[in-house]
């Protein structure tokens, strides 16, 4: 009889444990929810149970039923920026999430230049980090970093927790994401939440679903957990482990810093990246939400034995992707690279330029410029090439006067020579004594270049006027 009573007690305890509502870690104390929207909440409880959800901001209760697996999902109307609030989940036993702020929530993803923390990597500092970390305390800026997870099957949850911005928390948080969020806090004066899901060295295809990659037969797909050749480069594995659990959370948009890993196969990156953007938007089912990304910064890739590749082709593909997609923007970093380091120190510039895109294109703040001028076309007049630009209403200029030292020109032989390049209003004139009949112009079209062409405070991307393979 005693054994039966003990067994009954164990079963009862297990039943009670299963009855309590369980939430993904992203829905936890200290979270930021997107303001003024219909926000999804989901979790688990006992199978076929009734779950009551009550928000403190309006005292209204929503009732839902769990399915046979105990899963449930609801949508809740969020108020304007403010808080703190709480949400109570009750299926007979209460689960309460406290200290919830309403504000602007952004997903921040990519590879190592998004992952790089404010403290930097060893031997690789972030510029001005000591002072920025010192002054980083902010009760209305909340940070969540998703733990690295590589999986063959889509996961239901991530590992991580919400933290209030403080020197301790910010020191280990993404520098690019932090500077982006800090500018939003300063300009919008509302709470800001940042969810960083990134992994150094990760490929674009690692952040994509299997069915999105059907148009790219050159990409190898894993057939099981055991066939994952690289935890961060194999297709689909980071989508499964680090993105799928977040899909559907109400947020304002995404910032992205990735591309270095795809330099060696850049020829189809614009199509691949565009399919990724489209896929994420399909997953979230929130329309063409804002998607802003960093163009990879210049760096001497021969230092990692990639001298056979030219990263300018990847930057070109990123510029192409900007034109291919709605509601996107590219932060050009031609003046913020590091010749001997793939992790530039100027993360404040990267975060600031992403923030400019959001503040201009998403939040509609007037009086700021967020999009770099870009190559439009070229006209050849005898021995001189005349290059025109779009988005150049304030005309272009050089770092060292009305000229550029990074321009080359080639004739029909496809051999490039340094050229004299001078600026008149919004046009760049190019000429070389070694090329009598130019047919192509290239600007900073190399792995490493310290960009020297600007317009209205923003650098112009490297570009070429030809379509040659090399």
pTM: 0.95
Cα 141 off chain centre by? 18
In the predicted structure, residue 308 carries a pLDDT above the cut 90: no
The count of residues in the chain is 470
Specify the pLDDT at position 24.
Answer: 98
Q: Look at residue 237 and tell me whether its pLDDT is greater than 70.
A: yes
What percentage of the chain exceeds 90 in pLDDT? 94
310 and 420 in a single domain? The answer is: no
63 and 94 part of one domain: yes
What the block records as the tokens of 58 is 């309006």
Backbone phi, psi, residue 287, to 5°: 75, -160
Residue after which a domain boundary falls, among 101, 132, 159: 101
Is the model's pLDDT at 4 over the cut of 50? no
**Residues in Cβ contact with 147 at an 8 Å cutoff, skipping those fewer than 6 apart:** 158, 159, 160
Query: What residue numbers bound the domain in which 448 lies?
Result: 375-464
Mean pLDDT along residues 395-412: 98
Q: Where are the alpha helices (DSSP H) in 90-235?
A: 112-115, 129-134, 167-171, 175-188
**Phi, psi angle pair for 365, to nearest 5°:** -75, 130
Mean pLDDT of 271-277: 98
Q: For residues 382 and 344, state if they share a domain.
A: no
Please, what sign has the CA dihedral across residues 355, 129, 114, 406? positive
Using alpha carbons only, what angle is made at residue 197 by residues 354 and 274, rounded to the nearest 5 degrees?
Answer: 60
Q: Are residues 57 and 136 in the same domain?
A: no
Pair (10, 74) in one structural domain: yes
Once rounded to an integer, what is the mean pLDDT over residues 52-81?
A: 97
User: Which has more pLDDT, 11 or 375?
Assistant: 375
How many distinct structural domains can be found in the chain?
3
45 in a domain, yes or no? yes
Q: For residue 92, what is the domain's CATH number? A: 2.60.40.10
Which band of pLDDT confidence, cut at 50, 70 and 90, is reported for residue 306?
Answer: confident
Residue 218 sits in the same domain as residue 264: yes
**What are 132-146's pLDDT values in tens digits?**
999 999 999 999 999
- Peptide bond preceding 84 in cis form (omega within 30 of 0): yes
How far apart (Å, rounded) are the C-alpha atoms in residues 401 and 456? 14
Domain assignment present for 300 = yes
Which long-range CB contacts under 8 A does 157-160 form with residues at least 24 apart? 157/24, 157/25, 157/245, 158/24, 158/25, 158/26, 158/197, 158/241, 158/242, 158/245, 158/246, 159/25, 160/25, 160/26
Residue pair 462/444 in contact by the 8 Å Cβ criterion: yes
The confidence score (pLDDT) of residue 258 equals 98
| pLDDT at position 19 over 80 | no
CATH at 284: 3.40.50.1110
Same domain for 64 and 175, yes or no, is: no
Same domain, 26 and 126: no
114 pLDDT more than 50: yes
pLDDT of residue 16: 38
d(CA 175, CA 294): 13
pLDDT of residue 307: 74
User: Do 144 and 286 lie in a common domain?
Assistant: yes
Q: What pLDDT, in 10s, does the model give residues 173-217?
A: 999 999 999 999 999 999 999 999 999 999 999 999 999 999 999
Kindly state the average pLDDT of the residues 244-267: 98
**Sheet architecture: strand order including 420-424:** 374-381, 384-390, 427-431, 420-424, 403-404
In a domain, 368, yes or no: no
Mean local confidence (pLDDT), 153-171: 98
The single-letter DSSP state of residue 321 is H
Q: Select from 114, 133, 190 the least CA-distant residue to 354.
A: 114
CA 91 to chain centre: 37
Query: Which domain-ending residue is among 46, 66, 101?
Result: 101
Determine the Cα–Cα distance for residues 310 and 295; give it in Å rounded to an integer. Answer: 14
Write out pLDDT tens, residues 441-450: 999 999 999 9
In a domain, 469, yes or no: no
**Do the beta carbons of residue 402 and residue 422 sit within 8 Å?**
yes
**pLDDT bucket at 404, cuts 50 / 70 / 90:** very high
Using CA atoms, how far apart are residues 321 and 296, in angstroms rounded to an integer? 13
Q: How far apart, in whole angstroms, are the C-alpha atoms of residue 385 and residue 419?
A: 10
3-class secondary structure, 348: helix
| Domain contains 414 | yes
Give CA–CA dist 172/166, Å, rounded: 10
| 144/94 same-domain check | no
Residues 270 and 341 in one domain: yes
Q: Would you say residue 369 lies in a domain? A: no
User: Which among 66, 101, 136 is the end of a domain?
Assistant: 101
Asked if residue 140 and residue 35 are part of one domain, the reply reads no
Integer angstrom CA distances of residue 329 from 178, 236, 257, 272, 321: 19, 25, 12, 17, 9
């Amino acid at each position: 009889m005693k054994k039966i009573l003990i067994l009954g007690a164990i079963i009862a305890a297990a039943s009670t444990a299963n009855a309590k509502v369980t939430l993904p870690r992203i829905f936890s104390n200290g979270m930021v929810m997107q303001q003024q929207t219909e926000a999804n909440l989901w979790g688990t409880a006992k199978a076929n149970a009734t779950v009551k959800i009550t928000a403190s901001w309006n005292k209204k209760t929503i009732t839902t039923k769990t399915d046979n697996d105990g899963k449930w999902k609801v949508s809740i109307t969020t108020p304007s920026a403010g808080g703190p609030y709480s949400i109570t989940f009750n299926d007979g036993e209460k689960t309460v999430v406290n200290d919830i702020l309403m504000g602007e929530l952004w997903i921040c993803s990519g590879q190592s230049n998004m992952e790089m923390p404010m403290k930097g990597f060893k031997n690789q500092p972030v510029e001005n980090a000591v002072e920025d970390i010192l002054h980083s305390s902010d009760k209305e800026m909340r940070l969540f970093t998703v733990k690295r997870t590589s999986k063959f099957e889509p996961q239901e949850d991530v590992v991580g927790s919400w933290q209030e911005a403080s020197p301790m928390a910010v020191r280990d948080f993404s520098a690019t994401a932090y500077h982006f969020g800090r500018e939003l806090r300063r300009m919008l004066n509302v709470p800001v939440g940042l969810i960083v899901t990134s992994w150094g060295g990760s490929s674009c295809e690692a952040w994509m679903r299997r069915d999105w990659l059907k148009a790219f037969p050159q990409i190898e797909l894993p057939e099981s957990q055991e066939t994952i050749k690289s935890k961060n480069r194999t297709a689909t594995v980071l989508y499964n482990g680090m993105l799928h659990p977040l899909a559907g959370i109400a947020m304002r948009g995404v910032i992205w810093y990735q591309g270095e890993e795809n330099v060696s196969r850049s020829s189809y990156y614009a199509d691949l990246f565009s399919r990724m953007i489209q896929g994420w938007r399909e997953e979230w089912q929130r329309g063409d939400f804002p998607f802003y990304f960093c163009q990879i910064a210049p760096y001497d890739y021969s230092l990692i034995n990639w001298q056979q590749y030219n990263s300018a082709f990847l930057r070109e593909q990123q510029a192409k992707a900007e034109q291919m997609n709605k509601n996107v923007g590219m932060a050009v970093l031609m003046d913020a690279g590091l010749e001997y380091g793939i992790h530039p120190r100027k993360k404040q510039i990267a975060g600031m330029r992403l923030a400019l895109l959001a503040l201009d294109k998403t939040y509609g703040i007037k009086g700021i410029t967020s999009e770099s001028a870009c190559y439009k076309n070229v006209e050849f007049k005898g021995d001189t090439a005349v290059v025109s630009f779009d988005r150049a209403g304030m005309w272009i200029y050089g770092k060292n006067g009305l000229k550029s030292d990074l321009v080359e020109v080639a004739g029909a032989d496809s051999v490039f020579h340094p050229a004299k390049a001078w600026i008149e209003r919004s046009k760049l004139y190019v000429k070389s004594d070694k090329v009598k009949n130019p047919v192509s112009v290239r600007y900073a079209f190399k792995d490493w270049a310290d960009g020297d062409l600007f317009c209205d405070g923003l650098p112009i991307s490297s570009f070429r006027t030809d379509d040659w393979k090399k």
